[in-house]
């Protein structure tokens, strides 16, 4: 039986190599003054920022550029919103990785306000954002968070007692998302690996989510189908292959849609408290614990007998996908589950994903992380002992 479900709207999507050129005609539809939010260096090094600024100048478009270093913090968003609140900005454009996309999203939402974003963050403030914003175009330069297709911006205060919380409203979904794989060619292997594993984690977790539905299943499966043979090549010998980069970009985009509608699981339930207390890239957290978390989920599901059968079948379907077997494979369920786990473990090894201890996380920190974690929409309930084991195996 098809369960009842809701499905959030998505941006107007423009996908394909060379599609960045569409930005200039789009800007003219919104006005003549644009705020460009970029990362600290990658867009500059690739020469794309110079190209964008030259084109804006040629078209007599008034523009401002703001750089985002690291994950957006409340103070960074507040400062930017205050600075440009009276500049008559018609459009905000975020061009960069997930942090840049979230920063641009948050700035566009806070320019119309006169107070701190902290007042509107879930679990921090007491106010609910009304969705009023400056129009926003998201242009990712990495294949990771899928934030170009979601309604939330993740804002962080990192350190002891820190947090990673969302500013969220249906209207904060970008008005347009331009996905140009050419922008991702210059992304270094380590970043490509972490971002790619984040995207694949989002696809897998939403596929087996307790809130999955037929639409998210179809999308997530499609995303994993394109990513599975592109992830390793994108981080190595085919990093400049536009078809490989297109597959990665597609998977990332789809992961944003599926997480927004089906939710995620224990990996992202752990990523928030880890990222709030330690300076560690989000993609590294997700990538380094995905295999262990998947292994644990499958272990507990097997103990549940018939109650765990549906979720085990979904995990096995992805094992079959990764082995290039058709869904009606004659292989036993357990064999496909083993293929899934072994593939994820192999990716973790080949991509040389850092262990958690590299970022100062110790056995003594695990209890606090677990206390502040959540299962989200994990397909099976895990107790604290199970979650501790996941983390200890990647220290």
* pLDDT greater at residue 14 or residue 325: 14
Q: What residues form DSSP beta bridges with 96?
A: 140
Look at the pTM and tell me if it is higher than 0.85: yes
When pLDDT is averaged across residues 333-352 and rounded to a whole number, the result is 96
Strands (E), 111-181: 136-140, 152-157, 163-168, 176-179
Judge whether residue 196 has pLDDT over 70. Answer: yes
What is the reported pLDDT for 2? 87
Domain 189-392 has CATH 1.20.1090.10: yes
Q: Are strands 33-39 and 91-96 parallel, antiparallel or unpaired?
A: parallel
Q: How many CB atoms lie within 10 A of CB 8?
A: 12
What is the reported pLDDT for 328? 55
For the domain made up of 12-184, the CATH class stated in words is alpha beta
Q: What is the pLDDT of residues 107-157, one digit of tens each?
A: 999 999 999 999 999 999 999 999 999 999 999 999 999 999 999 999 999
Q: Where are the domains of the chain?
A: 12-184, 189-392
**Any idea of the CA torsion for 232, 236, 46, 148, to the nearest 10 degrees?**
0
**Residue 33, class by beta-carbon neighbours within 10 Å (0-12 exposed, 13-18 middle, 19+ buried)?**
middle
Judge whether residue 354 has pLDDT over 90. Answer: yes
Asked if the domains at 12-184 and 189-392 fall in one CATH topology, the answer is no
What is the reported pLDDT for 47? 84
Nearest alpha carbon to residue 249 among 175, 191, 190, 182? 182
Sheet holding 91-96, edge to edge: 12-15, 176-179, 136-140, 91-96, 33-39, 62-68
Q: Is residue 35 within 8 Å of 84, Cβ to Cβ?
A: yes
Cα 130 to Cα 8, 85, 239, 299, distances in angstroms: 17, 17, 42, 43
Distance, in Å, from the CA atom of 187 to the CA atom of 43, rounded to the nearest integer, reads 10
What is the reported pLDDT for 160? 81
Return the sign of the alpha-carbon dihedral for residues 327, 220, 295, 3: negative
What is the reported pLDDT for 327? 59
**Residue 371: in which H helix or E strand, if any?**
helix 363-371
When pLDDT is averaged across residues 243-256 and rounded to a whole number, the result is 98
Distance, in Å, from the CA atom of 282 to the CA atom of 99, rounded to the nearest integer, reads 10
Arithmetic mean of pLDDT over the chain? 95
Paired tokens of 371: 């206390």
What is the reported pLDDT for 329? 56
**Residue 225, class by beta-carbon neighbours within 10 Å (0-12 exposed, 13-18 middle, 19+ buried)?**
middle
| 3-state class (DSSP) for residue 347 | helix
Q: What is the pLDDT of residues 251-285, one digit of tens each?
A: 999 999 999 999 999 999 999 999 999 999 999 99
Q: What is the pLDDT of residues 32-80, one digit of tens each?
A: 899 999 997 778 877 888 999 999 999 889 999 999 988 999 999 999 9
Distance, in Å, from the CA atom of 86 to the CA atom of 65, rounded to the nearest integer, reads 15
Q: What is the pLDDT of residues 307-321, one digit of tens each?
A: 999 999 999 999 999
Distance, in Å, from the CA atom of 139 to the CA atom of 148, rounded to the nearest integer, reads 7
Task: Note the Cα 162 to chain centre separation in Å.
Answer: 20
């Amino acid at each position: 039986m098809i369960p009842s479900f809701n499905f959030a709207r998505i941006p107007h999507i423009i996908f394909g190599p060379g599609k960045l050129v569409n930005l200039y005609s789009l800007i003219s539809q919104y006005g003549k003054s644009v705020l460009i939010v970029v990362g600290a260096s990658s867009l500059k090094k690739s020469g794309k920022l110079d190209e964008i600024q030259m084109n804006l100048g040629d078209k007599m478009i008034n523009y401002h550029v703001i750089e985002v270093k690291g994950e957006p913090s409340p103070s960074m968003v507040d400062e930017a919103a205050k600075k440009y609140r009276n500049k008559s900005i018609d459009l905000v454009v975020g061009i960069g990785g997930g942090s840049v996309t979230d920063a641009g999203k948050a700035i566009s939402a806070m320019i119309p306000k006169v107070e701190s974003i902290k007042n509107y963050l879930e679990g921090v403030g007491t106010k609910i954002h009304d969705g009023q914003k400056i129009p926003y175009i998201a242009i990712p330069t990495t294949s990771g968070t899928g934030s170009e297709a979601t309604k939330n911006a993740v804002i962080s205060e990192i350190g002891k007692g820190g947090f990673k919380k969302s500013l969220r409203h249906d209207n904060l979904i970008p008005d347009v998302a331009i996905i140009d794989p050419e922008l991702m060619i210059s992304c270094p292997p380590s970043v490509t690996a972490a971002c790619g594993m984040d995207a694949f984690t989002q696809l897998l977790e939403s596929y087996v989510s307790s809130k999955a539905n037929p639409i998210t299943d179809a999308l997530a499966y499609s995303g994993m189908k394109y990513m599975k043979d592109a992830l390793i090549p994108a981080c190595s010998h085919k990093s400049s292959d536009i078809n490989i980069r297109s597959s990665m970009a597609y998977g990332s985009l789809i992961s944003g849609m599926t997480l927004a509608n089906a939710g995620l699981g224990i990996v992202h339930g752990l990523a928030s408290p880890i990222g709030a207390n330690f300076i560690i890239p989000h993609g590294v957290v997700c990538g380094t614990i995905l295999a262990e978390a998947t292994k644990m989920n499958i272990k507990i599901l097997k103990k549940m007998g018939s109650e765990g059968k549906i979720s085990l079948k979904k995990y096995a379907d992805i094992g079959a996908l990764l082995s290039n077997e058709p869904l009606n494979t004659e292989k036993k369920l357990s064999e496909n589950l083993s293929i899934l786990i072994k593939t994820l473990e192999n990716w973790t090894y080949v991509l040389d994903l850092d262990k958690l201890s590299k970022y100062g996380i110790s056995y003594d920190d695990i209890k606090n992380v677990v206390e502040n974690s959540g299962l989200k929409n994990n397909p099976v309930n895990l107790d604290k002992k199970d979650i501790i084991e996941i983390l200890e195996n990647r220290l």
